[in-house]
Chains A and B, each alone.
Chain A
Amino acid sequence: QSALTQPPSASGSPGQSVTISCTGTSSDVGAYNYVSWYQQHPGKAPKLMISEVTKRPSGVPDRFSGSKSGNTASLTVSGLQAEDEADYYCSSYAGSNIFFVFGTGTKVTVL
């Protein structure tokens, strides 16, 4: 099972928006509304930011939002702040044989 495809990098100035894509197949992203997004700062464990495509856990700012169209999911960070600079990974449930697959990761830089 190949990893989901994400752009290696994305950037924006403070206050701007950045959108990260996560492309899978009809067997994972396209088959289920079970895409999650994780933020990882250097040397730290990942943190859940979005579950089930659009759901924000308690404590996650509403600047973070998720969506999906076909085999591609997206994470949008609005009103970029310095602390948003991190690596972001998507993940999708991929059925009862593969189970879960992660994306390749995107490094977000706040200019």
Chain B
Amino acid sequence: EVQLVESGGGLVQPGGSLRLSCAASGFALSDHYMDWARQAPGKGLEWVGRTRNKANSYTTEYAASVRGRFTISRDDSKSSLYLQMNSLKTEDTALYYCVRRVFVAFDIWGPGTMVTVSS
């Protein structure tokens, strides 16, 4: 079964850091572009960023709202994707989803991991 499972969420103070992980199974992570998206409580979806696959040099891109603070990385040998979040703000509070991308659509979503930024 094709599956993504996020972990690492929790409560962090403003200005703090957190690292999210995403475990992929049922498919070859190395073949795919992978993205992160988020959803603030009771709000809509927001694209966070993406990493290309090995064939495209693992290049990354980010939404303007997180650029310079968040970093996406991956370890294909461990079938894992990561999101390093630094200088966290209260507005980063959201459910973070790991997402597999096929061309321009997000076809597989994990259940999400909740990040709460509060003092």
CA separation between A99 and B62, bound complex, in Å? 8
CA separation between A47 and B111, bound complex, in Å? 11
Flag whether B27 is at the interface (Cβ < 8 A): no
Flag whether A84 is at the interface (Cβ < 8 A): no
CA separation between A48 and B61, bound complex, in Å? 22
CA separation between A30 and B44, bound complex, in Å? 21
User: Assuming A52-B103, A99-B61, A99-B63, is B109 touching A45 (CB within 8 A)?
Assistant: yes
Stretch at the interface among A10-18, A74-82, A102-110: A102-110
Stretch at the interface among B15-23, B45-53, B73-81, B83-91: B45-53
Q: Are A46 and B107 neighbours in the complex by a CB distance under 8 Å? A: no
**What interface size band does chain B fall in?**
20 to 34
Q: Which residue of the partner chain A has the closest CB to B4?
A: A45
Contacts of B61 in A (CB 8 A): 99
Other-chain contact of A34, B35, B46, B50, B104 (Cβ < 8 Å): B104
Q: Which residue of the partner chain A has the closest CB to B106?
A: A48
A-B residue pair count with CB separations less than 8 angstroms: 58
Flag whether B70 is at the interface (Cβ < 8 A): no
CA separation between A91 and B35, bound complex, in Å? 14
Distance in angstroms from A66 CB to nearest chain B CB is: 11
CA separation between A99 and B35, bound complex, in Å? 11
Contacts of A105 in B (CB 8 A): 44-45
Contacts of B44 in A (CB 8 A): 3, 89, 102-105
Distance in angstroms from B109 CB to nearest chain A CB is: 4
Q: Which residue of the partner chain B has the closest CB to A93?
A: B104
Other-chain contact of A46, B45, B50, B64, B102 (Cβ < 8 Å): B45
Beyond A45-B111, A48-B105, A91-B105, 10 additional contacts (C-beta under 8 Å) are A47-B109, A51-B102, A57-B107, A89-B45, A91-B45, A99-B61, A100-B104, A102-B46, A103-B44, A105-B44
Interface residues of A (CB under 8 A from B): 1, 3, 32, 34, 36, 38, 44-48, 51-52, 57, 89, 91, 93, 98-105
In order of increasing CB-CB distance, the 5 nearest A-B pairs are: A51-B105, A45-B109, A100-B47, A34-B104, A102-B45
